[in-house]
Chains A and B, each alone.
Chain A
Amino acid sequence: GAGVSQSPSNKVTEKGKDVELRCDPISGHTALYWYRQRLGQGLEFLIYFQGNSAPDKSGLPSDRFSAERTGESVSTLTIQRTQQEDSAVYLCASSRGQFNSNQPQHFGDGTRLSIL
């Protein structure tokens, strides 16, 4: 498809389990972002990838959170030993990533994660 694709769209899991969320960016977009959106709240930046540069992990809330991306392709966000406060919608966005230019971010529909 032409847009950002995320899977699964919904994930329900038990507290303490690990989860892996996937994002497939728009082809040709070198920049990829993960955000968290808690119920009724705005977007919380988690991590940013730009090409082969070291990712900006400054938004990751704890060491239970990690993300990987190989080149300019798919990214996975992993949450280990999930806690109930991890329940949220996890949104992925991509952009062309050129510095200091208007390159708006295009969002996927998100993964709704529920921790029981």
Chain B
Amino acid sequence: GEDVEQSLFLSVREGDSSVINCTYTDSSSTYLYWYKQEPGAGLQLLTYIFSNMDMKQDQRLTVLLNKKDKHLSLRIADTQTGDSAIYFCAEKGAGGYNKLIFGAGTRLAVHP
């Protein structure tokens, strides 16, 4: 079945780069997403990548996709305290509608 896994916690120093990793099992995934959730709020779409790409950059965010290994990562350059949040990886399969399978989320803590 479909499954998405993430490490649960990451701690980084302010100004350093953060790398959040995700693995998925559905080889037919078409789009992969990163969402950010701040305390008490819903999920905010950060970025996405289509499965025929291996990299996408958007300002401080870089998404890397290794389709062979079914591995997705999100790199945040120059991490700031405002980046502290939970980051969810999600995949959309090839068939049917836009049902997304979410990972359990990685809690990013940024310390001075």
Contacts and interface: CB of A to CB of B under 8 A. Distances in A.
B102 A43 contact: yes
Interface in B41-96: 41-45, 48, 50, 88, 94, 96
Contacts, number: 59
Contacts of B88: 42-43
Contact of B104 (A33, A41, A91, A108): A41
A104 B33 contact: yes
Most A C-beta atoms less than 10 A away, residue of B33, B43, B44, B45: B43
Interface string B21-36: 0000000001101010
Contacts of B48: 102, 104
A72 to B, nearest CB: 14
Given A107-B43, A108-B42, A110-B42, A42 B102 contact: yes
Given A43-B88, A106-B45, A107-B42, A100 B94 contact: yes
A65 B99 CA distance: 19
Contacts of B30: 100
B105 A42 contact: yes
A104 to B, nearest CB: 5
A99 B48 CA distance: 17
Nearest to B31: A102
B41 A109 contact: yes
B98 A95 contact: yes
Contacts of B10: none
A104 B40 contact: no
A42 B103 CA distance: 6
A105 B105 contact: no
B42 A103 contact: no
7 contacts: A4-B42, A42-B103, A56-B99, A97-B97, A102-B31, A104-B33, A108-B42
Interface of B: 30-31, 33, 35, 40-45, 48, 50, 88, 94, 96-105
